[in-house]
Structure 1
């Protein structure tokens, strides 16, 4: 694994952790709260956003309008069984989720959940870093790269720059 490749993987781990944070409720309605909820749609687990329009008409409500009305009960069931902690209200064409104000106990639960997601992200970054270091050590042992290869490159660039500076 090259350094640029490792940095790219680490950036993706940070972005994945941020997406996980978006699924944690704050007290305002946010459509990303439903990102992790999967609906059993004709035997296949399907994300809600693939089955319905999700909107937030105000700060305390999420509206879910399925493209296919036959999926309405499946979506309602998936939300009820999920760890979102919201009760769906089905009126026959739209599911409404009312976001109640958070209690201090619930806030503490969400803080713990965020800490868990952060720790998972940190572990992913540590694993990527470890793999990159192992890869570099293997390359050093097999003489694909030397420990001083990059120092030598810097010295070459320095020599070139010194030559450019001193040339009249």
Structure 2
């Protein structure tokens, strides 16, 4: 019975970690990444459309993104969408391909990015701790209902704490890696 509580907590914590990783993909590191453009949508015939669904996006160099629209008439729309986004990128086009040079991050911008990563890290930890709280409440209600003995409830809470500690460490490791990427260049 407690195994179900542990398993549910692990699944939810895995989802929290996945959400954190997805959020961290959008943080600029000074290196070109396809995920940088994930949140950017262009007005494609009246429909907000992700850039990668209207064009071929590639990274020929570590600091360059190229976008080749399948329909040349949307080049201006793609440029507008990139300029409107808060990425701070300046696209240039030659009529067929849009090139985005990724400028190196300034020291101040790096520090801002590290602060953002730390904030996201803390949010990830809070999510994990909330899941721990829910699991502990489930265990307490099981004890109260007489489904499990008191000593099993304490062991269960200890196990939930161990699971939580493991996931908090994962959050720290993921964010430390991202900080290293940001400060690397």
TM-score (norm 2): 0.71
Match of 1:116 in 2: 119
Q: How does 1:4-153 map to 2 (within 5 A)?
A: 4-149=7-152
Over 3 Å counting, the alpha-carbon distance change for 1:47 and 1:122 in structure 2 is farther
Match of 1:158 in 2: none
Answer whether contact 2:89 2:102 (CA < 8 A) is retained: yes
Answer whether contact 2:42 2:78 (CA < 8 A) is retained: yes
RMSD: 2.4
Structure 1 unaligned residues grouped into runs of 5+: 152-168
Cα distance in structure 2, aligned partners of 1:45 and 1:106: 30
Task: Choose 92-101 or 64-73, whichever is displaced more.
Answer: 64-73
Match of 1:164 in 2: none
Over 3 Å counting, the alpha-carbon distance change for 1:120 and 1:73 in structure 2 is farther
Task: Choose 136-145 or 77-86, whichever is displaced more.
Answer: 136-145
Q: CA deviation at 1:97?
A: 0.8
Report how many residues are paired: 152
Cα distance in structure 2, aligned partners of 1:50 and 1:143: 55
Over 3 Å counting, the alpha-carbon distance change for 1:38 and 1:129 in structure 2 is farther
Residues 48-87 of structure 1: CA distance to partner in whole angstroms, max 9, x if unpaired? 2233221110111101122333443332222111121111
Over 3 Å counting, the alpha-carbon distance change for 1:112 and 1:142 in structure 2 is same
Match of 2:180 in 1: none
TM-score (norm 1): 0.77
> Of the two, which has the highest radius of gyration?
1
Over 3 Å counting, the alpha-carbon distance change for 1:108 and 1:65 in structure 2 is same
